[in-house]
Amino acid sequence: MNRILMTASAALALATFAAPAFADEVNVSGEIAVVCNVTAPSDVNTLDLTNAGAQPIGAVNVKCNSYSGFKATVESVNGGKLLSADSPSAYSYAINYGVGPVSLTSPYVVFAAQPGDTLSIAAAASAAGRDYGISIEGISTTDIPYAGVYADTLVFTVDVQ
């Protein structure tokens, strides 16, 4: 009887050693960081203050690899006016990026790519990025056109949606 029991115990021990004991796992992942970059047109010093027509100033370039799209805004430091340290007068103007003149009395979303706007999103994600041509138009003043250097700064910002 004892022998039988001992044999049974040995069999049990063997069964326990046969169970798998070295399972492990590893997660593999990588990341492409979100990179959105905007490049404004070069500075412009050739604006004709007597010309209310469209005066192209170059293109804004947007590069953004966010699949959810992007939003670009433009803001005028002087609220849409060309001002001069030499003169109390002001010249109003608007910008046009192809959809009609926009007054910059407050920051303005000039272009955006929503999720699903695959063409714009893909273009912005390309190596060349997406260009938006910008014109200044509607330059006018109701003030006295005194001599002076009139200026404003346009600040372009791009952000992910």
The footprint of other proteins (CB under 8 A) covers: 24, 26, 29, 31, 33-49, 57-58, 66, 82, 84, 86-89, 91, 136, 144-160
Q: Which is nearer to other proteins, 19 or 31 (CB)?
A: 31
Q: Are 64 and 158 in contact (CB under 8 A)?
A: yes
Taking the complex as a whole, the smallest distance from the CB of residue 116 to other proteins amounts, in Å, to: 20
> What is the torsional sign of CA 102, 95, 104, 122?
positive
User: Tokens in use for 6?
Assistant: 């001992």
Taking the complex as a whole, the smallest distance from the CB of residue 10 to other proteins amounts, in Å, to: 35
CA distance 104 to 69: 24
Q: Which is nearer to other proteins, 40 or 117 (CB)?
A: 40
Return the H-helix or E-strand segment holding 118.
helix 118-125
Between the alpha carbon of residue 88 and those of residues 14, 80, 85, 136, the distances in Å are: 99, 16, 8, 22
Q: Which is nearer to other proteins, 117 or 161 (CB)?
A: 161
Taking the complex as a whole, the smallest distance from the CB of residue 1 to other proteins amounts, in Å, to: 49
Taking the complex as a whole, the smallest distance from the CB of residue 102 to other proteins amounts, in Å, to: 15
Name residue 22's amino acid.
Answer: F
Nearest to 136 by CA among 85, 72, 82, 71: 82
Taking the complex as a whole, the smallest distance from the CB of residue 2 to other proteins amounts, in Å, to: 46
Q: Which is nearer to other proteins, 8 or 35 (CB)?
A: 35
Residue 50 gets which letter from DSSP? T
Q: Which is nearer to other proteins, 122 or 159 (CB)?
A: 159
